[in-house]
Amino acid sequence: MVASGCFMSTHFRIGLGTDTHRTEPGGPLVIGGVQVPHDRQLVGHSDADVLLHAVIDALLGAVGLPDIGELFPNTREENRDRDSAELLRLAYEKVRAAGYQLVNLDCVIAAERPKLSPYKEAIRHRMAGILGANPFDIGLKAKTGEGVGPVGREEAIEATAIVLVEKLSK
């Protein structure tokens, strides 16, 4: 919206983040900051927490900040095996410094195995703790690949996150 040559902005902004990581034999499998017992692990430069990476990109995108790869590049040795919960905390600090706060977060994890239903509440509470949010403001669904594609063949796990942020009052 333009008024008198000035750009106007709403107080609410939406961000979308997605991520995919390959799997390989071993462990631990970390999803949403929670260790989930499984015979496979995610592969990545950091701890490869596919869900927290999607949430980071959703938050950063909502306020027009650089994405996770720009802020925490896999070319930097200090990011090797780094805890994604720490990355999420740092990214959310940047969102707050930009003058926004989380309203709500909704996520989908696509994994053929393991079944994530028993861990969903722990994951929601863990993410809420990292973000200083109410767990009831965080939605989480788990889907399978129905045996189709990289997720269905257990070659990868995918996550999608969408956030709503609100401009902080001054």
Say what the pLDDT of residue 7 is: 63
Percent of residues in the chain assigned helix, strand, coil, to nearest 5: 35, 35, 35
pLDDT tens string 130-162: 999 999 999 999 999 999 999 999 999 999 999
Q: What is the pLDDT of residues 94-117, one digit of tens each?
A: 999 999 999 999 999 999 999 999
pLDDT value, residue 83: 86
Q: Which of 83, 93, 84 is nearest to 161 (CA)?
A: 84
Fold category of 13-167 in CATH: 60s Ribosomal Protein L30; Chain: A; (3.30.1330)
The whole-number pLDDT of residue 1 equals: 47
Check residue 75 and give its pLDDT.
73
Of the listed ranges 46-60, 65-79, 120-134, 152-166, the least confidently predicted one is: 65-79
Contact 106, 170 (CB under 8 A): no
Record the tokens describing residue 46, joined without a space. 């950091």
**Average pLDDT in the 54-64 region?**
97
Contact indicator for 164, 104 with CB cutoff of 8 Å: yes
